[in-house]
Structure 1
């Protein structure tokens, strides 16, 4: 995995696709767009949207948000299996989740 932080929407999409391959999921569509209240969202039809504000966040935070949403393509809830998969792909994800909740786009 690349360690540098993406600086453009296209580079962020490349990072998202890289994680999708690693997690073995295939999103139907990936969008990077302005989102006022969320960092990302995943629809039941497999569309994933990410906030363009992620471009200004740390690479670790970007990875956390990306992994979190991509895992929802496999696991729709936040139960034990989801948490186990988060641990596998993003050790110490609980720290990122605190930042995630504290610094949502709606708290800008």
Structure 2
């Protein structure tokens, strides 16, 4: 079983254990590091390389977001993190910071 398949299996297992689920929305003004923080959390979960964290902008999947270097659409991802001998399912939402996209944040 590949690392990806193991991660998906663990996510499916934890999604039925509410006490092990944490939902996190990252909200802040433009250029305050929301997507960089998201990249670093993804790297910590082993979903992207640590070398690319902060530069990959993994959750900025749209071509326009990549070209402009800003988050336009809210994006979400689920990952598993170990903390104090327990595994937690983290549902992370990276939101746009520009006031023009405030509806996506809401």
Q: TM-score, length-normalised on structure 1?
A: 0.29
More strand by share: 2
Higher relative contact order (CA 8 A, sep 6+): 2
More helix by share: 1
Q: TM-score, length-normalised on structure 2?
A: 0.30
